[in-house]
């Protein structure tokens, strides 16, 4: 948990940053259809949509309980990640 400039910790689970510029008059110009997503799986929010919750669970459990993960394998993306990662084949150095 990293403090922001006012010294208070950020406790939000998901933050979205839109990348569109704005004029000096405050008008937003829609140049990009992208946004930056900040994920913080340490602060669960019951209102987080399941499609995002699955990825937050993957992040959190891979760090805190890689031997006993309980993940939503109904999510195709999560299932593919599980197939691609084999913790048994990782050396202790690669875990860091």
pLDDT at 85: 74
- The helix (H) or strand (E) run that includes residue 38 is strand 35-39
CB 55 within 8 A of CB 80: no
Tens of each residue's pLDDT in the chain, 96 residues: 565 678 888 889 999 898 899 999 999 999 988 888 888 888 889 999 999 999 999 999 888 887 788 899 899 999 888 877 766 666 667 666
Q: Domain extents for the chain?
A: 14-95
pTM score, whole prediction: 0.65
pLDDT at 48: 92
Residue closest to 56 by CA, chosen among 42, 46, 77: 42
* Nearest-angstrom CA–CA distance, 43 and 86: 27
pLDDT at 69: 81
């Amino acid at each position: 948990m990293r403090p922001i400039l006012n010294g208070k910790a950020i406790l939000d689970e998901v933050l979205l940053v839109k990348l569109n510029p704005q004029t000096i008059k405050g008008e937003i110009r829609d140049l990009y259809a992208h946004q930056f997503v900040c994920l913080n799986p340490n602060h669960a929010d019951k209102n987080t949509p399941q499609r995002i919750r699955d990825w937050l669970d993957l992040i959190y459990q891979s760090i805190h309980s890689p031997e006993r993960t309980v993940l939503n394998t109904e999510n195709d993306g999560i299932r593919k990640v599980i197939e691609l990662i084999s913790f048994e084949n990782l050396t202790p150095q690669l875990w860091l």
